[in-house]
Amino acid sequence: MSEPLINASGLCLERGGRQLLSNFELQVGSGELVLIEGANGSGKTTLLRSLAGLSELGQAGTITRNCEQLLYLGHKFGIKLQLSPAENLHWFCHSQGLDPAGINSALDRVGLYGYEDVLCQSLSAGQQRRVNLARLYLSSGGLWLLDEPFTAIDRDGVKALTQTLIDQVAGGGSVVLTSHQDLPLDVPLRRVILGATA
Amino acid sequence: MWSFFHKLGSPPWMYRISGSILSWLLPLTLLLLAVGSIWGLLYAPADFRQGNSFRIIYFHVPASVVALAAYYVMAIAGAVSLIWKMKMAEVAMKSCAPIGAALTFLGLISGAVWGKPTWGTWWVWDARITSMLILFFLYLGVVALYQAYENKAAAAKACAVLSLVGTVNIPIIYKSVDWWYSLHQPATIKFTEESTMHSDMLQPLLLMILAFYCLFTCSLLLNMRSELLRQGAGTNWVREQVLARRGTKGATDAV
Amino acid sequence: MKTAPLLPFLRASLRRQLLLAYRRPVDTVNPLLFFLLVVTLFPLGIGPDPSQLSEFAPGILWIVALLASLMAAEGMFRSDYEDGSLEQLLLSPQPLYLSALSYVFAHWLLTGLPLTLISPLFAMMLQLPAEALPVLLASMALGTAVLSLLGSIGAALTVSLKRGGMLISLIIMPLYIPVLIFGSSAVRFAVFGNDSQPQLLLIAGMLSLAIALAPFAIAAGLRISVDAG
């Protein structure tokens, strides 16, 4: 295996006066799918945010990122309700340095064909989630950090998303995700369980 | 050099060192304050124009000078905490704000008390007092911002940024208020531009300024110590401190 | 990190801000209505005497502009914080300094510029002599840009807080004072036929300083706020 895409060593996380992780080690190489599990409040979200570089408060240890492209999808969808899906993704592409030419096909793949120009406020919660997930089809390769990507998605959507994760991993990218449900397809994955030592 | 930096970042070390500094600095401060006050209030000659009422400058001027200096101490501590992520600098910055606000308040109150016999009114929109008032607001802003954050680590960083912004602005604010005052200057006596002070008056003033700097340092250290204890609640070194304190009270106290 | 083309990003950011404002015009119109309302209050409070009004007009116009700008600044990052767009912005490979500047520029286009353009109307209502209008326009255009830059520092630092509205006034208002002093005095000088170029130049100087430094504070504030949330 070549150099890991992301390497966290000696990571200690503290939030609200509570020690969530101490001396945590995680290396994610290319082609790996890592599922982070743990009870509510065990620090899954904080860990993902730390890996993304959004959270530095109460963090000790080192995180080195070695990836061209990093995509983080959190609890918040990052979608403007007053903009259409296409407009939302347009800004996203420019901000992440991605090619906006793929927007239509990405929306097509999440089942939003025909909704490109409808304002997001008229979409259902699940459809808004799909706009959020359409980002995955715009940025293949690199590292994906996905926080609970399966919430608010119907059963077919979960299957399609899982297939996307498999494709991403097969294409040399890697995925770190948190989820409360098991993946529906048989995927070779590595489980990391948080809170086992506490 | 680096080992010193590391020690500076360690709460138990800082707690111990600040304790030993305070053991001599606190008496020294009290002595300076007592000597300066007695000298200034009783022995310095009265001003030929204002009589005895001028003596309040022995509190007003030191409080104002140190209040402004405290803002810079706070901002420098804030910058250090942001750049080198040094915990101790955060503690210093956080502890500095209320002291600075109190000193500024003292400066404002003593200015008002001074204004009554001098101008015949408690409040005058004089350049220096107005700047002082704005400095007071700047301090209150930092304190309020710190209080508003639930996450105290974020609060410290936010306050560090705000105090740095304030540092850039203070000279601009002071200059603009000076300019504003010179434009609207009323025809009454130009009183804050002191004529050259007689050295008999100046010497106690300098002593009082020194005393106020010491007072500020003492308050800062005391405030930092209590903050260190609060943040370290539950850690071993704090437990040791508490146990040691109990031990000195005698064996009658059951643990 | 991959380098991403910068200019298209800045253009897309600006376009997005303007599009959002276009879809929600109340946010843009409210500060202007606020301006109008407060300007109306002054004659009711201090009397309709034209000479008195015209004496106070420069100060009133500037104080109200200051409050209107502050009010608009408060919500600047609010929705982006709440819906998570801010997280994406922080993760973007684009320099946050420039992203912050593009936000401020959009904010100025949507509040400072309309306030400037509408100020002659309010100046008439307050009996400000017409000779002072060019200086009023110039000082407003420059001054509101400084206000936008300073206000967004406050907005960035308080966006994660529940009760940020009152707090932002407390932390930012003192910083507005130099703009108020020079802005209103520029207009007052113009009323008396004096040269107000020095004040305008001073405001321009403050603007350059603010453009150079404020985005760093905004960027730091946004990082802290996203982290604290």
Are A117 and A171 spatial neighbours (Cβ–Cβ below 8 Å)?
no
For residue A58, the chain B residues in CB contact (below 8 A) are 153
- Confidence (pLDDT) at A181: 76
**Which helix or strand (DSSP H or E) is residue A20 part of?**
strand A18-28
Residues 6+ apart with CB under 8 A from A41: none
Q: Which residue has the tokens 């509570």?
A: A18
- Confidence (pLDDT) at A156: 85
Q: How many CA atoms lie within 13 A of B41 on its CB side?
A: 10
pLDDT tens-digit series, residues C44-75: 998 889 888 998 999 999 999 999 999 889 88
Most A CBs within 10 A among C19, C88, C160, C224, hence the mutation to make, goes to C88
- Confidence (pLDDT) at B74: 95
The span from the CA of A88 to the CA of A131, in Å, is 8
**In chain A, which ranges are continuous DSSP H helix?**
44-52, 85-96, 103-109, 125-133, 155-170
Is A119 at the interface with chain C, CB within 8 A? yes
- Confidence (pLDDT) at B243: 86
Min Cα separation C4/chain A (Å): 4
Min Cα separation C11/chain B (Å): 28
Is B153 at the interface with chain A, CB within 8 A? yes
Most B CBs within 10 A among C96, C146, C157, hence the mutation to make, goes to C157
- With CA atoms as reference, the chain B residue closest to C170 would be B141
**Which helix or strand (DSSP H or E) is residue B222 part of?**
helix B199-231
- Confidence (pLDDT) at A196: 55
As a whole number, mean pLDDT of residues A15-24 equals 82
Task: Determine, for residues B162 and C209 on separate chains, whether the beta-carbon distance falls below 8 Å.
Answer: no
Is A144 at the interface with chain C, CB within 8 A? no
pLDDT tens-digit series, residues C166-213: 899 999 999 999 999 999 999 999 998 889 999 999 999 999 999 999
For residue B247, pLDDT over 80 is answered with no
- Confidence (pLDDT) at B6: 65
In whole numbers, what is the pLDDT of chain B averaged over residues? 86
Q: Distance from first CA to last CA of chain A, Å, rounded? A: 31
Are B138 and B171 spatial neighbours (Cβ–Cβ below 8 Å)?
no
Min Cα separation C229/chain B (Å): 9
Are C70 and C172 spatial neighbours (Cβ–Cβ below 8 Å)?
yes
As a whole number, mean pLDDT of residues A72-101 equals 89
As a whole number, mean pLDDT of residues B195-209 equals 81
Q: Which residue has the tokens 């020194």?
A: B210
Task: Determine, for residues B154 and A57 on separate chains, whether the beta-carbon distance falls below 8 Å.
Answer: yes
Min Cα separation B229/chain A (Å): 15
As a whole number, mean pLDDT of residues B39-53 equals 80
Most A CBs within 10 A among C3, C20, C83, hence the mutation to make, goes to C83
Nearest to A82 among C3, C20, C99 (CB): C20
In whole numbers, what is the pLDDT of chain A averaged over residues? 85
**Which helix or strand (DSSP H or E) is residue B177 part of?**
helix B152-184
Residues 6+ apart with CB under 8 A from C13: A91, A94, A95, C99, C102, C103, C106
- Confidence (pLDDT) at B189: 42
User: Could you tell me which of B146, B57, B60, B68 has the C-alpha nearest to residue B101?
Assistant: B68
As a whole number, mean pLDDT of residues A65-87 equals 88
As a whole number, mean pLDDT of residues C129-141 equals 94
As a whole number, mean pLDDT of residues C142-164 equals 93
As a whole number, mean pLDDT of residues B232-242 equals 84
A window 63-82, beta carbon within 8 A of C: 68-70, 72, 74-82
Q: Which residue has the tokens 């005052």?
A: B181
- Confidence (pLDDT) at A191: 84
- Confidence (pLDDT) at B18: 92
pLDDT classification of B185: cutoffs 50, 70, 90 = low
Q: What's B39's DSSP letter? A: I
Token readout for B107 is 């400066």
For residue B130, the chain C residues in CB contact (below 8 A) are none
Task: Determine, for residues C13 and A97 on separate chains, whether the beta-carbon distance falls below 8 Å.
Answer: no
Token readout for C154 is 């406050």
Q: Is B232 helix (H, G, I), strand (E, B) or coil?
A: coil
ipTM above 0.95, yes or no: no
Q: How many helices (H) and strands (E) does chain A have?
A: 5, 8
pTM over cut 0.95: no
For residue B231, pLDDT over 80 is answered with yes
**In C75-163, which ranges are continuous DSSP H helix?**
78-83, 85-91, 96-107, 113-125, 133-158
Residues 6+ apart with CB under 8 A from B251: none
pLDDT tens-digit series, residues B110-143: 988 888 888 788 888 888 889 999 999 999 999 9
R_g (Cα) of chain A, nearest Å: 17
Most B CBs within 10 A among A57, A59, A62, hence the mutation to make, goes to A57
Q: Is B54 helix (H, G, I), strand (E, B) or coil?
A: helix
As a whole number, mean pLDDT of residues B192-198 equals 58
Task: Determine, for residues C175 and B158 on separate chains, whether the beta-carbon distance falls below 8 Å.
Answer: no
For residue B2, pLDDT over 70 is answered with no
For residue C90, the chain A residues in CB contact (below 8 A) are 53-54
pLDDT classification of B250: cutoffs 50, 70, 90 = low
Min Cα separation B116/chain C (Å): 26
pLDDT tens-digit series, residues A114-163: 888 889 999 888 889 899 999 988 887 788 999 988 888 888 888 888 88
pLDDT classification of B254: cutoffs 50, 70, 90 = very low
- Confidence (pLDDT) at B234: 79
Most A CBs within 10 A among B151, B157, B230, B231, hence the mutation to make, goes to B151
Are B165 and B97 spatial neighbours (Cβ–Cβ below 8 Å)?
no
Percentage of residues of chain B with pLDDT beyond 90: 52
For residue B251, pLDDT over 70 is answered with no
Task: Determine, for residues C213 and B157 on separate chains, whether the beta-carbon distance falls below 8 Å.
Answer: no
As a whole number, mean pLDDT of residues C145-156 equals 96
**Which helix or strand (DSSP H or E) is residue A13 part of?**
strand A6-15
pLDDT classification of C3: cutoffs 50, 70, 90 = low
- Confidence (pLDDT) at B188: 44
Using CA atoms, how far residue B254 sits from B239, B241, B246, C134, C199, in Å, is 16, 17, 9, 81, 72
Contact residues of A toward B, CB < 8 A: 16, 57-58
pLDDT classification of B195: cutoffs 50, 70, 90 = low
Task: Determine, for residues A54 and C227 on separate chains, whether the beta-carbon distance falls below 8 Å.
Answer: yes
- Confidence (pLDDT) at C81: 93
Sheet of A59-65: strand order equals A18-28, A6-15, A59-65
Q: Would you say the C-alpha torsion A113, A117, A122, A123 has a positive or negative sign? A: positive
**Subunits in contact with chain A (3 or more CB pairs closer than 8 Å):** B, C
pLDDT tens-digit series, residues B99-119: 999 999 999 999 888 888 887
Residues 6+ apart with CB under 8 A from C114: C28, C31, C32
pLDDT tens-digit series, residues B84-96: 888 899 999 999 9
**Subunits in contact with chain B (3 or more CB pairs closer than 8 Å):** A, C
- Confidence (pLDDT) at B249: 60
pLDDT classification of C1: cutoffs 50, 70, 90 = very low
